[in-house]
Amino acid sequence: MPDAIEVRKVPIHSVADASELAKLIDDGVMAADRVIAIIGKTEGNGGVNDYTRIISDRAFREVLIEKGAPADQVRQIPIVWSGGTDGVISPHATIFATTDADPTDEPRLTVGFAMSEQLLPEEIGRTPMVTKVAEAVKDAMAKAGITDPADVHYVQTKTPLLTIHTIRDAKSRGKTVWTEHTHESMDLSNGCTALGIAVALGEIEMPTDADVMHDRSLFSSVASCSSGVELDRAQIVVVGNAPGVGGRYRIGHSVMKDALDADGIWAAIKDAGLDLPDRPRTSDLNGRLVNVFLKCEVSQDGEVRGRRNAMLDDSDVHWHRQIKAAVGGVTAAVTGDPAVFVSVSAAHQGPDGGGPVAAIVDLG
């Protein structure tokens, strides 16, 4: 049985700051050698060349080593950074560590991690990627002690996107790639990964190559997929609940039906186990919400609730940044805290124009 989980959210005070992680360790909240995953938001542009993710990754790993965790172990920790804190979103990190706790029959938070086989550039956006991701998700579930896919509430991934270098590599071997537009490949990698998650959890049947990025009725309600230049395989973090683990925390999920669906956020918080009134207010949370994790996407019809918007036509500011800021504002209005994990590029992650929401709460 996996160990119980301690989870805390900390602010990031500058792009290379990891001082709040150091403080948690110094205060005895968690041990450096028991940190197993970190998921956070950095303040870069969120694009292909967003190197704030690499800077933050280095800062957090250096603190763990400085505080006594073995370097080889630290190198294997999944640290998933989503770049771009548009609007009111505040840079922060959510840190997961194992801890000692009495086992309980009540389902409590559990985390599993796995890496897929190497993803070749010609596989990004195609069924071989779906298959490799699905296999890794099942591996991570087993490590989390989860046997029922219904107990999985959040799957955070990091996968490679296409760069000029990897496109050239594929061509040199006589292969083709799905797209030669590197920024578009971010959406592609995320969407294809989400389909792999959905297959692993039995949410959909195996799709075809033609379905990827085209059939938006195929999606996962728990996938949160990010991509970047940092790695060449899928990094999978499965978060769910399992009996016998023990601890104070529990996770739940729902979906936002569109960019304004605050009720979808509240539904995820309630699903995690908080007893809230029918029409809750931020004050009803009483400090028991650790964090929420969302993906968002511009609706392909260019509308929200029947009203036209110009995000997809805007040549000055990419729609990635606009929808992230909009959903970040809606989310912060619910939680009362701008340090929320809102990530864009949600193809096949929740319904078109909406996205999955996961919430972690402290049940005490």
For the stretch 291-322, pLDDT in tens is 999 999 999 999 999 999 999 999 999 999 99
What pLDDT is stored for residue 49 in this prediction?
A: 84
What end-to-end distance do the CA atoms of the chain give, in Å? 21
Residue 231 pLDDT: 86
Q: Where are the alpha helices (DSSP H) in the chain?
A: 19-26, 52-66, 71-76, 127-144, 164-172, 182-200, 262-271, 319-335
Active-site annotation holder among 82, 220, 226, 254? 226
> Nearest-CA neighbor of 330 among 227, 259, 229?
259
Q: Tell me the pLDDT of the chain (364 aa) as tens digits.
A: 789 999 999 999 999 999 999 999 999 999 999 999 999 999 998 887 888 999 999 999 999 999 999 999 999 999 999 999 999 999 999 999 999 999 999 999 999 999 999 999 999 999 999 999 999 999 999 999 999 999 999 999 999 999 999 999 999 999 999 999 998 999 999 999 999 999 999 999 999 999 999 999 999 999 999 998 878 999 999 999 999 999 999 999 999 999 999 999 999 999 999 999 999 999 999 999 999 999 999 999 999 999 999 999 999 999 999 999 999 999 999 999 999 999 999 999 999 999 999 999 999 8
What is the per-residue pLDDT for 1? 79
Let me know if 270 is a catalytic residue. no
Catalytic residue at 343? no
Separation CA 356–CA 349 (nearest Å): 6
Residues with Cβ within 8 Å of residue 78, at least 6 apart in sequence: 36, 37, 38, 113, 158, 235, 236, 237
- What one-character DSSP code corresponds to residue 2? P
218: Cα within 13 Å, side-chain hemisphere: 24
Q: Check residue 344 and give its pLDDT.
A: 94
Out of 41, 67, 138, 158, the active site residue is: 158
Q: How far apart are CA 297 and CA 354, in angstroms?
A: 6
